Amino acid sequence: MTFEAYSLFRPERRDTAAFFSSPHSGRDYPASLMRRTALDEMTIRSSEDAFVDELFSCAPGLGAPLIAAKVPRAYIDMNRSADELDPALIEGLARAPHNPRVSSGLGVIPRVVANGRPIYRGKLALEEAETRIARYWTPYHLALRGLLEESLAQFGEAILIDCHSMPHEAIEAHARPGQPRPEVVLGDRFGAAAGRGVMERIEAAFSNAGLRVVRNAPFAGAYIAQAYGRPSRGQHVVQVEIDRALYMTEARIERHGGFDAFKALIASVVAEIADIGRAQLPLAAE
């Protein structure tokens, strides 16, 4: 099913508590945004999780739903709270308590893309920000909440895999001296968003595919993990960040020659995660 804000891909028969979300892979750039931006068509895409929805597109065939944003992160960020509005960008907002994401220009209506490059030449009206939230953010999160509640009702558990990509240089400083840099960063907000057993099995799924995995540094999970992760209630959220260099040429935002092989590798990971959601185990108690 395709809607204005997102596409929802359902399996013919859902048989796992796991489901997948790709909130930053949207690439339908509104003409109104392109008229107002100070950036060229390539630069504005630098904060997009390009092709991540394609990497995880096998999920419905393995019994798990996939929801993917259609509009880009540069227009509205589905992985932020609706109230994370930036007074430096939006007219008429009073100064709010300090929020590091908003202060850095990465609120629900982003002010900048990667490397702090400003998106707009001027400010936006508050009414425009509120319209974007109502038209895109709210439907996406209603659908995401619906999938979570469906999981709980059908399986007694929900395992949400929040799928993202990270710039190759983003983890440069986090490689141990003399050791290869991580290729995947899993975030569960240091145990607050997912049960230990769930996190261990998801980490094993990526490791079994030969990928180098670390937890929570430099990415521990943002709004989706924070809002929906409640392991004591059987709601588990794990944010996945994948090194873009594994499947794309970042400078040109193009799939490189290894894309198909890496997509097949991710399919094996998705299959293992789907199996986690089929196990009749007390995940919430771990």
Q: What is the pLDDT of residues 179-189, one digit of tens each?
A: 788 999 999 99
Residue 89 has pLDDT above 60, yes or no: yes
- Partners of 165 in the beta sheet? 242
Residue 88 has pLDDT above 80, yes or no: yes
The rounded percent of the chain whose pLDDT value lies above 70 is 95
CA 105 to CA 119: how far, in whole Å?
Answer: 10
Domain spans of the chain?
6-79+147-285
Q: Per-residue pLDDT tens for 156-179?
A: 999 999 999 999 887 776 667 777
CA 73 to CA 108: how far, in whole Å?
Answer: 9
pTM for the whole structure: 0.93
CATH of the domain spanning 6-79+147-285: 3.40.630.40
- Rounded to an integer, the average pLDDT of 105-116 is 92
